[in-house]
Amino acid sequence: MAAPPLIDHTRTTGLRTVRRPRPPLKRFSLAWWLSQAAMTFGLLIFLLLAWQIAAWIAPNPQIPSPAIILGYTWQLFIAGGAQGMSSETAWFGHALPTVGRALLGFLLGCFWGIVLGIFTGLSRVFRYTTSWVVEFLRAIPTSAVLPLFIVLMGGTDWMRVAFISYGLSLYVLINTASGVASVDPTLILTGRAFRLSRPAIVWRIILPAAQPAIWAGIRIATIGATILAIVSEFMVATNGIGYQIQYNVGRFNLPAMWAWIVFLAVFGLILNFVVEGTERRVLRWHRNSH
């Protein structure tokens, strides 16, 4: 019995051969997972391999190879003994304090940014009154006001949390106020026609309509949380990832510096994935409507 012919994805029309689209990969199949992994991590793996090959060809003590950095990272956080400290000291003495400050500052900054942004977006008088103040503060680089926080609050952990929340709240405030102020007036008039109270209109109409803009501000705050946490530890600090980076740079221990940067990158990716997943779940209605 002859074997069945292979599927031909082309057909001839006149003088041209038109290729039919291939059937899509079956979801959650092995080929589907491999394609997803290639699209997600392909470029990263390529860059790491190119970096490793370049380090073999032209070694540079200031830029260690990925193998050296990952080996030092493993020794520092898992095996222990790197830099004369145990893995418990690396985690509980430096890594987790930075993570805690960044997360607490992120939550407080988002909370105050959303609250003040709602009042700014709802009240035209309040918006016009505070717009120049907000723009004035936004024009000042956040890192430039760190010495002011140190003078007012000292070199405490709460000073760093307040500094992080201050820097993040501006981004969330501006996006929230813009989203609330740009809600379609027809939606508000519809709520009034159904005799909804003012708080009900804000909670059930204005806030859901402004959520895309609010989440855009939160996504920006996600990036700023790690940046401001590290900046706050560059001055008057005795622990934390920023302190360790500056400490190892001063002693030319570059593999240790890169190891802390790798940990910081992993933390930033995890925080971004959590926020992105929450946003995708909350704004599912918005994505389905487009």
DSSP secondary structure of 189-256 = HHHHHTT--HHHHIIIIIHHHHHHHHHHHHHHHHHHHHHHHHHHTSSS-SSSHHHHHHHHHHTT-HHH
Return the number of other C-beta atoms located less than 10 Å from residue 137's C-beta.
15
Domains by residue range for the chain, with CATH = 93-288 (1.10.3720.10)
Closest CA to 20 of 32, 37, 7, 4: 7
User: pLDDT (tens digit, 9 = 90+) per residue, 180-209?
Assistant: 988 888 888 888 888 888 888 888 888 889
Mean pLDDT across the chain, nearest whole number?
Answer: 85
Reported pTM: 0.83
User: pLDDT (tens digit, 9 = 90+) per residue, 233-274?
Assistant: 998 888 999 999 999 988 888 888 999 999 999 999 999 999
- 205-229 burial, b at 16+ Cβ within 10 Å, e below that, comes to bbbebbbebbbbbbbbbbebbbbbb
The pLDDT confidence band at residue 155, using thresholds 50, 70 and 90, is: confident
Cα 23 to Cα 20, 34, 42, 97, 108: the distances in Å are 9, 17, 23, 50, 49
Q: What is the mean pLDDT of residues 10-30?
A: 60
Query: What is the percent of the chain where pLDDT is above 70?
Result: 88
Query: In this structure, what DSSP letter does residue 6 have?
Result: P
The pLDDT confidence band at residue 111, using thresholds 50, 70 and 90, is: very high
Residue type, 77: F
Distance CA 15, CA 272 (A): 52
pLDDT at 16: 58
Q: Which residue's entry shows tokens 């709602």?
A: 118
